[in-house]
Structures are given as C-alpha cells and as structure tokens.
Amino acid sequence: MAHYSLRAATPGMLLTIEAGPGAVVSAGDVVARLEIMKTEIPVESPVAGRVVHVHVEVGATVADGDLLLTIDSR
C-alpha cells in the first residue's frame, strides 16, 4: 500500500469534493473540482485506490501544488 499525494495543478477555489474519505477511485476519475476565472476545472486522480484524507475544505482557496487528497493506491 502506498500513499499518493494528489496536488492541485492549478490555483483555484475548491468547488466540490467528488470522492470523499473512503471512496474507491479508478485512475482518471474526477475526485474534486476547482474554480478559477469562472471556469470549473476537474481534478482527476492519476492512480486507482481509496481516498484516505481530504486536506482542503470546500470553499477554500488553493495554490498550485497544494495537497488536495491522499489516496491509498494499490
């Protein structure tokens, strides 16, 4: 079991979490959405696994590279 740190690839405001703690995700699944410049940017998980932690609250602003989710990849 390995912990994968999913980081924001763009600054923005966290609009939704699509996969909360416990959710099982496949590679390519949208796990969160960010908003910037009136545009919704889906955050895809590059790995399959289970979400163990969400580090940001909906409505919070994130910077490029900020940690969003920790995923247990198998």
Question: Would you tell me which residues interact with another protein (CB under 8 A)?
Answer: 9-12, 36-42, 63-65
**How far is residue 49's CA from residue 56's CA, in Å, rounded to a whole number?**
19
Tokens 């959405």 locate to 33
For another protein, the closer of residues 21 and 42 by Cβ is 42
For another protein, the closer of residues 40 and 74 by Cβ is 40
Angle, vertex CA 59, rays to CA 40 and CA 16, nearest 5: 50
Least CB distance from residue 21 to another protein, whole Å? 25
Angle, vertex CA 73, rays to CA 44 and CA 19, nearest 5: 45
For another protein, the closer of residues 1 and 37 by Cβ is 37
Least CB distance from residue 22 to another protein, whole Å? 27
